[in-house]
Amino acid sequence: MLKHLFGANLSKVGADGFNSLVRRQMGVQNFALAYNQMGVVATLRLANGPTDNVTAWQRFLPTGPIALLPLSDDTSSLVWSTSVAEAKRLLQLDGDSFVAAVNAAFHKPMPRNTLVDDVMKGVNSLVKQTTGQRLEAAPVVETEVAKSRAAFPLGLGHTGTYVGQGVCLIGDAAHRVHPLAGQGVNLGFGDVQTLVDVLADANYAGLGISNLSELLKYEQQRLKHNVPVLLTTHSLQRLYSTDFVPTVALRSIGLTLTNAFPPVKKFLMNYAMS
């Protein structure tokens, strides 16, 4: 797309994932941290026919979060972060067993600390009295779309620089985040939009789009947004990887209150999509 818009002066745009060949050819340093988890993905068809499927659902399990992201009125995309061993097991299940596992992960009661459970009952009661909000259940999955199931390793990554002379990196080639906050695709879209804007300005000014000083403007703008998101996402991953009771209680209260107050939730959503 970028070459179509601006010609061939920009020799390479690395949009080739976290194992980027373009990044390796640039010879830049890349920080990488493995989480020893895998993300299982699939496209799922929801029960009860077409509905107003506009809500993303997420549940935090002891092995990692599971999320359903709406695709259409009756289909959603699954992203299930879990241990390597469990991911391999899920990949081996037949379709019906896999759907049953997904429904159990969303709806089956999980062992909980009694103290945390008592605290959350009080918090949920307060939220209900204050806002009128009720806890809703995630939709039930009916079937799995054939051949849509896959898995990939999870980790944190960030390259030392996004740009070189006539070359730049976008998306997972430049930065890699845990999917628990759903920010990977948003960061990639933001990279593309910023790069297009910077190159358009350079092209209009007759400065040439392969000029390193112009490409650095893209890097500077994206670093201001990407680095805080990476640090926040990494902190959340660590926060939800512990079973230390006070931490579990505090994170549960924080998540419930955030979801209960629309202004806070809207602010976070707007920042994530900016």
CB 63 within 8 A of CB 82: yes
pLDDT at 26 over 80: yes
49 CB-contact burial (10 Å; exposed 0-12 / middle 13-18 / buried 19+): exposed
pLDDT value at position 239? 81
DSSP state string for the chain:
-HHHHH-SSS-EEE-S-TT-HHHHHHT--EEEEEEEEEEEEEEEEESSSS------EEEEETTEEEEEEE-SSSEEEEEEEEEHHHHHHHHHS-HHHHHHHHHHHHHS-----HHHHHHHHHHHHHHHHHH-----PPPPEEEE-TT--EEEEEEEEEES-SEETTEEE-GGGTEE--GGG--HHHHHHHHHHHHHHHHHHHHHTTS-TT-HHHHHHHHHHHHHHHHHHHHHHHHHHHHTT---HHHHHHHHHHHHHHHH-HHHHHHHHHHHH-
* Average pLDDT score, the chain: 85
The residues, ordered by sequence, that sit 6+ positions from 201 with a Cβ below 8 Å of its Cβ are none
Q: What is the pLDDT of residue 247?
A: 73
Region of residue 99 (left: phi > 0; alpha: psi -120 to 50; beta: else): alpha
Q: At which residue do the structure tokens 């959603």 appear?
A: 76
Span 188-209, average pLDDT? 89
Give me the pLDDT at residue 8, please. Answer: 46
Please check whether residue 245 is in contact with residue 229, taking contact to mean a CB–CB distance below 8 angstroms: no
Residue 200 has pLDDT above 80, yes or no: yes
Q: Band of the pLDDT at 207, cuts 50, 70, 90?
A: confident
Structural domains in the chain, CATH included, are: 10-29+160-241 (3.50.50.60), 34-158 (3.30.9.10)
Mean pLDDT, residues 146-158: 96
Residue 267 pLDDT: 57
Angstrom CA distances, 233 to 118, 152, 184, stand at 28, 18, 10
The reported pTM is: 0.79
Strands 163-164 and 167-169: antiparallel
Give the percent of the chain with pLDDT over 90. 55
Read off the pLDDT of each residue in 191-195 and give the average, rounded to a whole number: 95
Q: What is the pLDDT of residues 118-148, one digit of tens each?
A: 777 777 777 677 766 666 788 999 999 999 9
- Per-residue confidence (pLDDT) for residue 6, from 0 to 100: 43
| pLDDT band for position 85 (cuts 50, 70, 90) | very high
pLDDT at position 7: 45
pLDDT score of 159 more than 90: yes
Query: Is the confidence at residue 2, as pLDDT, over 60?
Result: no
DSSP bridge partners of 79: 41, 67
Q: Which pLDDT score is estimated for 82?
A: 95
Q: What is the mean pLDDT of residues 24-40?
A: 94
Per-residue model confidence as pLDDT tens digits over 233-274: 998 888 887 777 777 777 677 767 666 666 655 655 565 555
Longest dimension (CA), the chain: 66
